């Protein structure tokens, strides 16, 4: 009676290849998107997968759907799977809604005959009667998503894989989608659901899994997993700790400190004064547009702010191997009195990169002044108006 | 499919046996789904191609005809090539243009096909071979339509139907195998090497002149290369062999067959082997690359 998924014991996906030069295309970055994840999901279970961007949850789902092959390990499923990874697969803006529904349904595994038979139900569910001959480019985004969801839900597979597709449309339609999910759950469908949205995970899932850097961090009750996920988000640094493969390059952070307006190093700062978060990095390789970043955290490990040199599209320039660079991030000190720790990091161009060098909590500053009880002491204009 | 409604206890279907999930592949997923997907993609492409144009499908028919008209004028009126020496030169020219157009449309359409379908390949599991085959299928439909025009011209020129017309489906089948083979190879290569597109444009251009389209094999017989008559070399090219045989079958029973042009039935195995070899190579390469296409796009 059990339906068993056996997810891989070991699984690597090397997704990113970067060709720096058409004739020198041998530099690869390996991204281990999913590492040694092993789970079993029972028949009829509503299983949630949560994690930050780039934690490997979507890759895992795509492996289960058979879109990516696995490098190690194996995946077994029992039953018919709907490859329901994203809404509106194959939608084409130049075709009318009727054609698009049929195309989408065939893509998701129906035959043309089945797709035609279920067409009316799709239209009724999407509440788009009268718009079927309209070309999709003239649809509003809400209508588009309703149409896509209505089509996808008609593919009556035993196992559904859903990636970030809940919470679509207006409130009334959302309610309808949630009801549809409860119906599927009652019918005993097995659903694997990937989301950032802890609310829907806690509401629907029987069990959930938290992923981080391709690893399975925790698996269990959705409420527990939800709490773990929020904690993980709190202590987030600008960059992930360096991969071992990078450490050979010789890029290192030599020093980190806080400065006042006069350029003097400080270990304590008065509220409302300007201060700078600084660090000195030594480059062990040539870098184009590297990202210098600092993360300011409390002693409890809660991230207060992250500053990056590529914020607002700023360019950092090109650097040669052997150069030393000082990065300064100046800001008015609007922090509440407490001790703050500075984590400098340096990474290649792009978001989501692992750092080339990172030293956690390298420098600290004590902020003194009066606290209001919050984390920030922003300049606030107070206005009272007597009516 | 259990369709539980309301509060009634859901009836669970007996659990099917578990099976292993493999990554994407060239084939697989059942013949029915394979065909449904191929047909659907070809149909979508057909609808999109003529979207927003007033004459729509007529362009597919008119374009080769206009090209034919220009070439006919240049070669018969200005250069005095075909007319007089080659019987039924206009019909020959049209027929060979149409056959070559199929080859060119399929191959150059296949090149960017996988990359152009990125949104599908990255999000759904389906047999990857569907993508180039849908291109070949749509081109085949266009070929069928164009051949109707060719036959109207042939009948208009006063050529009576003969039993040898039945050779045409076989010749078209060979052309389809050749074009699809090249298409599979190029589409999979293009995912990794974007240089394929400009290179193939040049090669297709060379093949156009290297095939007996504007001229016939007979007219090339007096030239020699490496001690071989040029006409024999032309028929080693499978497209040349197909066009030459089609001329004999459709237009002029006295024209040399592909076999006579190459100098014997046994030698005809060369273009056959090239066709089969290219198809096998294309299928092998596509099948090898298929699991990684969605990651490399």
Q: What is the pTM of this model?
A: 0.71
Q: Could you say which of A194, A211, A234 is where a domain stops? A: A234
Residues A299 and A224 placed together within one structural domain of the fold: no
CA A259 from centre of chain = 34
Tracing tokens 């599991």 back to the chain, one arrives at B125
B214/B175 Cα distance (integer angstroms) = 19
Q: How far apart are CA B125 and CA A19, in angstroms?
A: 27
- Rounded CA Rg of chain B: 23
Residue A186 in domain: yes
Residue A387 clears pLDDT 90, i.e. is over it = no
Angle of CA points B17, A193, B119, to nearest 5°: 95
User: For A333-350, what is the mean pLDDT?
Assistant: 86
Query: Residue B94: how many CB atoms within 10 A of its CB?
Result: 24
Q: How far apart are CA B148 and CA B128, in angstroms?
A: 32
Share of chain A above pLDDT 90, in %: 6
A257 and A353 together in one domain = yes
Q: Please check whether residue A232 is in contact with residue A198, taking contact to mean a CB–CB distance below 8 angstroms.
A: no
Q: Identify from B18, B30, B130 which residue to disrupt to test chain A contact, counting A C-beta atoms within 10 A and taking the largest count.
A: B18
Q: How far apart are CA A131 and CA A387, in angstroms?
A: 50
Mean local confidence (pLDDT), A77-85: 73
Rounded CA-CA distance B275/B10 in Å is 56
Are residues A201 and A270 located together in one domain of the fold? no
Give the CA distances from residue A26 to residues A22, A56, A244, B79, in Å, rounded to whole numbers and listed in that order.
Answer: 10, 25, 20, 53
Closest Cβ opposite residue A2 in set B15, B23, B47: B15
* Residue among A85, A94, A106 minimizing CB distance to B36: A106
Please state the φ and ψ torsions of residue A67, each to the nearest 5 degrees: -85, -35
The answer to whether residue A137 scores a pLDDT higher than 70 is yes
pLDDT value of residue A329 = 92
Q: Do B4 and A68 touch (CB under 8 A)?
A: no
Do residues A208 and A105 share a domain? yes
Q: Do A229 and A253 share a domain, yes or no?
A: no
The half-sphere exposure of A311 on its side-chain side, counting CA atoms within 13 A, is: 10
- Complex confidence, ipTM: 0.73
Could you list the residue range(s) of the whole structural domain that residue A308 is in? 244-368
Q: What is the 3-state secondary structure (H, E, C) of B18-54?
A: EEEECCCCCCCCCHHHHHHHHHHHHHHHHHHHCCCCC
Residue A117 domain-assigned (yes or no): yes
Task: Give B124-147 pLDDT, tens digit per residue.
Answer: 888 899 999 999 999 999 999 999
Residues 6+ apart with CB under 8 A from A239: A291, A293, A345, A346, A347, A353, A354, A355, A358
| Total tally of structural domains belonging to chain A | 2
Residue A53 maps to a domain: yes
**Closest Cα of chain B to A364: distance in Å?**
43
What integer pLDDT is reported at residue B15 of this predicted model?
53
Q: What is the pLDDT of residues A279-337, one digit of tens each?
A: 999 988 888 888 899 999 888 778 888 888 888 778 888 888 888 999 999 998 888 88
Provide the chain A residues 156-195 that lie in CB contact (below 8 A) with chain B: 156, 158, 186-188
In this structure, the answer to whether residues A230 and A248 fall within a common structural domain is no
Domain boundary among A209, A234, A259: A234
Q: Across all residues in chain A, what is the average pLDDT?
A: 79
């Amino acid at each position: 009676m059990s339906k068993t998924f056996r997810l891989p014991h070991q699984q690597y996906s090397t997704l990113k290849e970067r060709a720096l030069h058409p004739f020198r295309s041998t530099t690869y970055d390996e991204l281990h998107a999913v590492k040694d994840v092993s789970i079993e999901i029972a028949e009829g279970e509503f299983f949630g997968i949560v994690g930050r961007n780039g934690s490997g949850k979507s890759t895992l789902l795509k492996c289960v759907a058979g879109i990516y092959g696995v490098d190690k390990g194996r995946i077994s499923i029992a039953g018919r799977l709907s490859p329901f990874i994203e809404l509106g697969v194959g939608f084409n803006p130049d075709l009318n809604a009727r054609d698009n529904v049929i195309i989408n349904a065939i893509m998701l595994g129906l035959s043309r005959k089945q797709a035609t038979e279920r067409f009316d139900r799709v239209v009724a569910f999407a509440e788009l009667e009268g718009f079927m001959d309209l070309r999709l480019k003239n649809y509003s985004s809400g209508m588009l998503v309703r149409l896509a969801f209505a089509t996808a839900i008609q593919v009556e597979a035993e196992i559904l894989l859903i990636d970030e597709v809940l919470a679509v449309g207006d409130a009334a339609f959302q309610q309808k989608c949630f009801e549809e999910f409860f119906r599927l759950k009652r019918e005993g469908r097995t659903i694997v659901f990937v989301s950032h949205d802890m609310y829907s995970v806690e509401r629907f899932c029987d069990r959930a899994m938290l992923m981080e850097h391709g690893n399975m961090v925790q698996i269990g009750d959705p409420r527990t997993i939800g709490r773990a996920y929020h904690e993980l988000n709190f202590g987030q640094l600008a960059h992930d700790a360096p991969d071992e493969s990078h450490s050979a390059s010789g890029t290192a952070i030599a020093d980190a400190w806080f400065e006042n307006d006069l350029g003097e190093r400080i270990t304590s700062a008065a509220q409302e004064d300007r201060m700078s978060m600084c660090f000195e990095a030594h480059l062990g390789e040539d870098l184009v547009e590297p990202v210098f970043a600092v993360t300011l955290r409390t002693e409890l490990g809660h991230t207060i702010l992250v500053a990056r040199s590529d914020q607002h599209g700023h360019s950092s320039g090109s650097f040669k191997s052997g150069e030393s660079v000082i990065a300064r991030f100046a800001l008015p000190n609007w922090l509440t009195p407490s001790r703050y720790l500075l984590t400098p990091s340096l990474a290649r161009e792009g978001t989501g990169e692992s750092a080339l060098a990172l030293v956690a909590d390298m420098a600290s500053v004590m902020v003194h002044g009066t606290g209001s009880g919050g984390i920030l002491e922003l300049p606030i204009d107070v206005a009272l108006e007597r009516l | 499919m259990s369709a539980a409604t309301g509060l009634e206890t859901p009836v669970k279907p007996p659990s099917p046996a578990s099976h292993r999930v493999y990554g994407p592949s060239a084939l697989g997923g059942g013949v029915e789904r394979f065909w449904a997907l191929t047909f659907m993609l070809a149909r979508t492409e057909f609808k999109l191609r003529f979207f927003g144009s007033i004459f729509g499908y007529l362009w597919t028919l008119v374009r080769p005809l206009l090209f034919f008209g220009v070439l006919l004028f240049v070669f018969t009126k200005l250069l005095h090539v075909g007319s007089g020496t080659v019987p039924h030169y206009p019909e020959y020219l049209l027929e060979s243009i149409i056959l070559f157009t199929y080859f060119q449309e399929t191959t150059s359409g296949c090149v960017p096909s996988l990359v152009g379908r990125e949104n599908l390949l990255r999000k759904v599991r389906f047999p990857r071979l569907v993508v180039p085959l849908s291109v070949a299928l749509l081109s085949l439909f266009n070929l069928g339509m164009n051949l109707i025009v060719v036959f109207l011209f042939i009948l208009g020129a006063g050529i009576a139907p003969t039993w040898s017309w039945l050779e045409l489906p076989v010749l078209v089948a060979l052309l389809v195998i050749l074009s699809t083979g090249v298409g599979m190879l190029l589409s999979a290569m293009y995912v990794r090497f974007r240089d394929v597109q400009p290179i193939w444009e040049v090669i297709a251009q060379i093949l156009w002149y290297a095939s007996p389209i504007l001229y016939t094999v007979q007219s090339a017989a007096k030239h020699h290369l490496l001690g071989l008559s040029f006409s024999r070399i032309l028929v080693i090219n499978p497209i040349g062999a197909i066009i030459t045989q089609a001329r004999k079958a459709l237009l002029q029973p006295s024209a040399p067959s592909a076999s006579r042009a190459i100098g014997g039935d046994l030698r005809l195995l060369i273009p056959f082997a090239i066709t089969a070899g290219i198809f096998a190579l294309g299928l092998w390469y596509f099948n090898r690359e298929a699991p990684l296409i969605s990651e490399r796009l």
